[in-house]
Structure 1
Amino acid sequence: MRVFLLLTVLLFGLNSNAQKKIDCSLQTKEYQEFLSIKNFEEAFGPWEFVAKNCPTQSESLYLEGVKIIQYKIDNAKNEEEKETSVRQLMKLYDQYHKNFPNSIEDYEVYKAMALFDNSIDSKDEVFQLLDNGINSSLNKVTSGNAIFNYFKLLTEKNKNGDKSVTNDKVIEKFTLLNNRIVTLNETNPAEKETYVAASRAINAIADNFLTCDVLTEYYEKKLAQNQENAAWLEASLNVMYEKCAATPIFLTLAEKYYALKVSAQSANYFATALLKNRKFDEAKKYFLESANLEKNTSSKATKYYTLATGIYSNDKPKAKEFLLKSIEFNPKLGKAYLFLAQLYANSASDCAKTDFEKKAVYYLATQTVKKASVADEVLKTNVAMFVNDFSKESLSESDISNAKMNGKTMTIGCWINEKITFPSK
């Protein structure tokens, strides 16, 4: 008899679960049909049934649920009804994390932003959720707005005398948050504008508080325990890069980071520190190494262009070499042609022995600058201006004909070392 009862219970349970799955499939189909025509109101009932009875069915249940509940929030009749729906959305994030923990590790950040984005006045709760989420899952956070608001609330607590938010904690978080934004900038280029805006906003808040003196004191104090920690050194250098690269501590951090990890970034930090400390020859070496090690072709082109127009601008052969490399890695970098054309024009007197040769250099400069607008149409106005200026000093059709150079090729020596083929009559 007991065996019969047990079998009956088991069969009833199996049938019940099977029935639930069938019902959930039907209800899922129903709410998704409503969603396809943007009828969020009618979608809510069947969606809620599935969320209650089949919470592990699929992740789309939660992604679609966010849209449905957000519709309820946006169309709430009053503040009380709105907050109720926001709280429901927060519970949905809890449920999402419970059933799919690897997909939404930073669920507390989502909960915080549900409160913030929907203007629920709960500043302390928002901060606590952001603090928990960012402390546990910063490497999963992708919201630039969440990062900014966390830092804003953190600094407010510091200013208001909250003893749990010390100056050291503000610097520590600033370092981590800045580093996270740099990473997001590199990995999510489609959202670059958002991350740049978040970075500027954070830096604007920190500008008065995080002076070079304050940062120097902090990093000198923390260096001993972190001098073998490449991630910490990288994050610290990123914080100090804009306004404190000339400080001795920046040079120390850069040297240690480079010793631990040779990369385009570490070489760039080290080169910048050396340059700020007027060690020009050493700086050149590491700037060049940074460009050579860079894997992103667009960044590589930019680094070669910077070398040509900055530290090597007085070394014309080298400047030309790096400009051509920048064009090689980014053919659309029209400004490289502009700079190269100016280098040619500025060397007309030095590299020409005759008046014809001098004009030929300007002719080459004119042909070179025209390539800039082909590479980048935005430069058309600048190109027109340079063409106008260079053409005044360049060879005319009669100059070429009188010299019997139509259809012939001429070599310009000196550091320019280029050939010009003149058009036929």
Structure 2
Amino acid sequence: MKFKFVFTLLGVFFAFNMASAQDCNVTLSLFNESAKVNNFSDAYPKYKQLLENCSDSHILIYQRGEKILEGMIDEEENVERKQELVQEFIDNQMMRLEKFPNKTKKADIYADIAMIQYKNEVGSLEERLEAFEKVVEIDKDNFASPVALYAYFRIANDLNDAGERDIQFLFNKYDEVIELIETQENDKAIEAKPLIEKQEAQEELTSREARILKNSEIYLRNYTKIKGSVNSLLGSKADCDNLIPLYNKDFEEKKTDVNWLRNANERLSAKDCTEDPLFFKVSEALHQIEPSANSAYSLGQLAEAEGNRKKALEYLNEAAELATDKGRKSRIYYRIANNYNAQGSYSQARTYYRRALDNKPSLGVAYLKIAEMYAKSANDCGNSVFEKRAVYWLAADYAARAGRVDPSISSNASGAAESYKGRAPQKSDIFQEDAAGTKISFSNCWIGESVVVPNL
């Protein structure tokens, strides 16, 4: 009798849970339909009901909750109610992180919170800045929202304009935000690279691969726009006319301060303020105290300016070896490559352009430089006129790739690619040679690559 009673209770318990789960699913379905069409008056009560009774049931509660709360905040005119909704939005995001941590990136959540505070002017400028700094502190590798990255720097710029933070603070934030953007650019370029190469080899992408490539290229275009906007905000504040007096004023006092010298050296170098005597003084002082990638790079720049190419390459190679930051390594390798390119040492130049790309896959200009070198070498490669002209297909592929990984140069890259295609064999030439789909190798010259003749 006792066991029968226990089983009866268990049956009632499971039946109750099943009924409760069914109720949650029904409410969630109705909520989802209303939320999809922005029917806030119908969706919001159901959302509140789901939070109260079914908060663990599905991540969709929080995904749709985010969207309807954003919409309600935008439409709300009452200031007090708007602030309440902002807090509900924050609570929604934090509950999503708590309930579904394995399906949620911390950076996305904290960036959403920072953005809602930014858009609705919640708190002081300093408090809004802290909200973005929290994203960097907690999960900077996944801080990917282009709009949020711009807002982060915009707040720093506003603080500087208001006289609440000095210019060095703004420079530091600029460096930080540009590094965050370039980290995401590199991630997307790495994602896109094998898929672009697959397309260039005339292989068909799967629907999933096509979707990944499309998203990567959209993000790359957006990062290019945001980087341009950030640079516009900084504007003349970082020009040599402002930097040189700023650092000259403090040089004697700071010439043994490694951190100050490092910052001054990097800023002057980045803005090509290299002709002023201050640049030499800062670079030399830094290299004596702490030989580093930055100081070696600066001395390489000075050697270049003096026309001593051999010495410049020694310093630049030293700088590349000392550099630990991939973005910095990439810039140094690119400069070395340009030196070899200018000398006509194309094989050496390509080696360094590729090293630059290994460290920064979104450096499209390096692909463009390789394309230019290939085009210049067309007459030195191949065993026939057709094969020599086929080099231009390879050049066109590299030029097209340049624009895809770096949308900021897409116009120049596509123009170059079309120009190279115009110099490559045309349909009549391919037909006459009966070469469609064949592979041509350029092993008889420094290029050492191959290209597949397009099918007619």
TM-score by length of 2: 0.55
Report the equivalent of 1:354. none
Report the equivalent of 1:113. 115
- In 2, distance between residues paired with 1:259 and 1:381? 45
Shift of 1:291: 8.4
Mapped pair 1:372 → 2:395: yes
Conserved 8 A contact 1:304-1:322: no
Are residues 375 and 278 of structure 1, via their aligned partners in 2, closer, same or farther at CA, if it must alter by over 3 Å? closer
Conserved 8 A contact 2:395-2:420: yes
Q: Secondary structure at the match of 1:207?
A: helix
Report the equivalent of 2:28. 31
1:342 partner letter: K
Report the equivalent of 1:132. 130
Identity percentage of aligned residues: 14
Q: Deviations over 1:301-322 (max 9, x none)?
A: 99988755x3123533x22454
Shift of 1:173: 2.9
- In 2, distance between residues paired with 1:236 and 1:25? 64
Q: Secondary structure at the match of 2:182?
A: helix
Report the equivalent of 1:89. 89
Q: Secondary structure at the match of 1:209?
A: helix
Any residues of structure 2 matched to 1:353-368 within 5 Å, and which?
366-368=389-391
- In 2, distance between residues paired with 1:302 and 1:100? 40
Give the number of equivalent residue pairs. 346
Shift of 1:282: 4.0
- In 2, distance between residues paired with 1:21 and 1:224? 73
Are residues 135 and 287 of structure 1, via their aligned partners in 2, closer, same or farther at CA, if it must alter by over 3 Å? same
Q: Secondary structure at the match of 1:185?
A: helix
Conserved 8 A contact 2:73-2:86: yes
Mapped pair 1:157 → 2:182: no
Any residues of structure 2 matched to 1:13-412 within 5 Å, and which?
23=20, 26-32=23-29, 34-35=31-32, 38-39=36-37, 41=39, 42-53=42-53, 55=55, 59-73=59-73, 76=75, 78=77, 85-96=85-96, 103-104=105-106, 109-117=111-119, 120=120, 122=121, 125=123, 127-139=125-137, 140=139, 142=143, 143-162=145-164, 165-189=165-189, 190=216, 191-210=219-238, 211-213=242-244, 216=247, 241-244=269-272, 246=274, 247-248=279-280, 251=283, 266=293, 272-278=297-303, 280-285=309-314, 310-316=338-344, 318-323=345-350, 333=367, 336-342=370-376, 366-369=389-392, 371-373=394-396, 378=414, 379=416, 381-383=418-420
The structure that has the greater radius of gyration is 1
Conserved 8 A contact 2:185-2:220: yes
When the two chains are superposed, the root-mean-square deviation of aligned CA atoms in Å is 5.5
Q: Deviations over 1:221-241 (max 9, x none)?
A: 8896765x9xx96x8877555
Report the equivalent of 1:9. none
Conserved 8 A contact 2:320-2:333: yes
Conserved 8 A contact 1:158-1:166: yes
Conserved 8 A contact 2:265-2:283: no
Report the equivalent of 1:423. none
- In 2, distance between residues paired with 1:44 and 1:88? 11
Shift of 1:288: 6.0
- In 2, distance between residues paired with 1:34 and 1:257? 65
Conserved 8 A contact 1:270-1:283: no
Unaligned runs of 5+ in 2: 1-11, 190-215, 359-363, 401-413, 426-442, 449-456
Conserved 8 A contact 2:188-2:220: yes
TM-score by length of 1: 0.58
Shift of 1:194: 2.9
* Bigger relative contact order (CA 8 A; separation at least 6): 2
